[in-house]
Amino acid sequence: MVPEINGKETKKSKLIANPNCTTAIGLMALWPLIQKFGVKRVIMSTYQASSGAGQPGMDELKEGTKAWLEDKSVENKVFAHPLPFNVIPQIDKFQENGYTKEEMKVAWETVKICGLPEDTPISCSAVRIPTIRAHSEVIVLETTEKIDLDVARQVLEDAPGVKVVDDPSTFSYPMPLTATGQYDVEVGRIRRSLAFGDYGLEFFVCGDQLLRGAALNAVLVAEEMNTNGVLNGLVAN
């Protein structure tokens, strides 16, 4: 559940699952655009921080970076390969279809959370990058309605939990450094997709997966449940 999207579902159950953090971050920007312009297909590429693998992942990146700079051997136990000064195009285990489980979670959960038809084409490539915190995503949306860029930008400006950071003239766009520690998801590089023309939009998203993708989302779910009376007056701390 992402409360801003399907919070009403809390009325049906007292047991609610947090989504995959990558899914939660991307849907904050994707959902309002789907509501406005419809969806034909979604293509996503993610660039995920070492903290996605927990404290051991962050420690391995820090220790490995130090070792690399000191011209020492870099060990990897958490990740399949050394992460410092590298990118690893694998997160979680490979599935029979060639995608990883992390990539399939994005497809499965996007359909479920947004209430889309199960045959909606959604493809994801997930890559681990040598940053500490905050996941980044390139999202390409093919729509059923013609895109108006000004309207699309306004939709994102008005979306709760979203901060538009998009001014190429001042080199302003979402980055892990600026998204880290923020409740809102940053969205920028908003442009018409060359692949899908008037029916396509491409943009870049950064969000703190430890907040929007985990702890903050869980608190918001609890607050939504309390508002809907599911918690019988109890408020989550």
CA-CA distance, 48 to 54, in Å (whole number)?
Answer: 12
Nearest to 225 by CA among 14, 6, 38, 20: 14
Return the SS3 of 46: strand
Which contiguous run of DSSP H or E holds residue 164? strand 162-164
Annotated catalytic sites, by residue? 21, 135
Strand 122-128 relative to strand 41-48, pairing: parallel
Identify the burial level of 111 via C-beta atoms within 10 angstroms of its C-beta, where 0-12 means exposed, 13-18 middle and 19 or more buried.
middle
Instruction: Write the DSSP symbol of residue 187.
Output: E
Question: 53 is written with which tokens?
Answer: 């693998």
**Residues 171/151, Cβ–Cβ less than 8 Å:** no
